[in-house]
Copies of this chain bind each other. A is one copy, B any other.
């Protein structure tokens, strides 16, 4: 395996890494209003690089939030067209004090680059752009037609891109999508992701008294919204991880026995996973399901934080007027977000304790999806990956949500190839997020070979 594009990539690797670092220095945190300009700067930086390497029709697509980045190159007559997707926005970096190096000062240690967004998803976006640059630089053209669409709201629900895709614009016409926002199942093991969980992200607000009250004076008469919230949450999920909302599991499509068999043959040790990745005393979740089933193919419910009340050091004896919980549920094929939210909302209103008012707000949602594996793009991908990594590709699912994959299928009829190069211990959404530099390099080579294979 060697092409002139891969030669170019290898020679330019130090510069590619510098460009990744520059992008990682921009704190493009999509959920925080104060980082709005940073999101725009990240978008503009990517757009400028796409234009520099020879992509055409480059522009920012504006909406109410952070812009989309678009560019194309459509001169490969008779060849397929790929829509390349990635996102330039990142999660907030807190808790800051657990980072070994600052989240927006990318730092190389032990063959990894550490920064918020290193693997999710700036490192992978840069790999895509640098694959295009290498192909363009080596051959003066691309092997297939390429459209690039990057978004800046993936971490906050991806509303802008969902609306844009749903409008079926002419410039998204393609034969398939390439999505690089996933990971290898294990180091050195080429992987394609073929299933994603959906989700609903909600806020559950409970209001009691009209104002904060002294817990000595009013304790025993005034409702405590945190206690009520805890009582509600305790009724949402039992201690074995089963969601208690009536009807929630109805219509769920379980994995096939073939898929379950394939998962059982993956190199995965639950005890090793507990120790190395989770680090908790024991793992939790529904009995009778493996960790891979529980995280890939079962719905789950998590609480992310409970703002309100007194959270400072020491003691404040207050009964807060209100309390909020950030609650999300991961969904699997057959569980539709809108229906899951209605069931959840109705159940919360029904089980809310006396004395308090509850309000359930939907913040974002996304469909679960399974992508087809019997198409020439997946076959080209497995050939390319075998060349670069020297191994057969494994097909996995991800417990995360990439709502765009479902949108591209539903609105544009595009099958997605989810080819990503993260690792399971890359600390996505957590302190010390990293991207392995070898995976960055081989990721670029894999993407080059994949586009060459599709075009051959």
A-side residues, CB < 8 A to B, are 30-33, 91-92, 94-95, 98, 155-157, 197, 199, 201, 208-224, 226-227, 229-231, 233-235, 237, 239, 241, 273, 277-286, 291, 294-295, 298, 300-320, 323, 325-326, 328, 330, 353-357, 363-364, 398-401, 424, 427-432
Residue in B211, B279, B295, B306 whose CB lies within 8 Å of A427: B211
| Apart from the given pairs A208-B280, A215-B330, 20 other A-B contacts in the complex at a CB distance below 8 Å | A31-B315, A92-B310, A156-B314, A157-B315, A210-B278, A210-B280, A211-B431, A213-B429, A213-B430, A214-B430, A220-B286, A220-B298, A221-B285, A227-B237, A234-B235, A281-B357, A284-B355, A302-B317, A311-B311, A314-B363
Q: Is the CB of B313 within 8 A of A33?
A: yes
Residue in B213, B230, B294, B300 whose CB lies within 8 Å of A233: B230
Q: What is the CA–CA distance of A213 and B428 in the complex, to the nearest angstrom?
A: 7
Q: Is the CB of B95 within 8 A of A303?
A: no
Could you list 13 examples of A-B contacts with CB < 8 Å? Answer: A32-B312, A32-B314, A155-B317, A157-B315, A212-B429, A219-B301, A221-B283, A222-B278, A281-B357, A284-B354, A307-B311, A317-B328, A318-B430
Q: Is the CB of B295 within 8 A of A219?
A: yes
Cβ–Cβ < 8 Å partners of A212 in chain B: 95, 98, 429-431
A93 to chain B, nearest CB (A): 10
Residue in B92, B233, B431 whose CB lies within 8 Å of A312: B92
Q: Is the CB of B306 within 8 A of A306?
A: yes
Q: Is the CB of B400 within 8 A of A216?
A: yes
A454 to chain B, nearest CB (A): 28
Q: Is the CB of A92 within 8 A of B316?
A: yes
A106 to chain B, nearest CB (A): 19
Residue in B91, B208, B303 whose CB lies within 8 Å of A309: B303
A401 to chain B, nearest CB (A): 6
Q: What is the CA–CA distance of A326 and B311 in the complex, to the nearest angstrom?
A: 8
Cβ–Cβ < 8 Å partners of A312 in chain B: 31-32, 92
Given A217-B295, A294-B221, verify A226-B306 contact (CB < 8 Å): yes
Given A218-B295, A241-B220, verify A302-B278 contact (CB < 8 Å): no
Q: Is the CB of A220 within 8 A of B399?
A: yes
A408 to chain B, nearest CB (A): 19
Q: What is the CA–CA distance of A216 and B291 in the complex, to the nearest angstrom?
A: 13
A401 (CB) vs chain B CBs: closest residue: B216
Cβ–Cβ < 8 Å partners of A310 in chain B: 92, 94, 304-305, 326
Given A278-B222, A282-B355, verify A313-B211 contact (CB < 8 Å): no
A91 (CB) vs chain B CBs: closest residue: B316
Cβ–Cβ < 8 Å partners of A94 in chain B: 310
Residue in B210, B229, B282 whose CB lies within 8 Å of A230: B229
Cβ–Cβ < 8 Å partners of A424 in chain B: 217
A66 to chain B, nearest CB (A): 12
Q: Is the CB of A217 within 8 A of B316?
A: no
A428 (CB) vs chain B CBs: closest residue: B214
Residue in B213, B231, B311, B355 whose CB lies within 8 Å of A234: B231
Q: Is the CB of B230 within 8 A of A317?
A: no
A419 to chain B, nearest CB (A): 18
Q: What is the CA–CA distance of A47 and B286 in the complex, to the nearest angstrom?
A: 63
Which residue of A223, A325, A429 has the most chain B CB atoms within 10 A of its CB atom? A429
Given A222-B278, A222-B283, A430-B211, verify A216-B399 contact (CB < 8 Å): yes
Q: What is the CA–CA distance of A12 and B326 in the complex, to the nearest angstrom?
A: 54
A418 to chain B, nearest CB (A): 13
Q: Is the CB of A234 within 8 A of B239?
A: no
A8 to chain B, nearest CB (A): 34
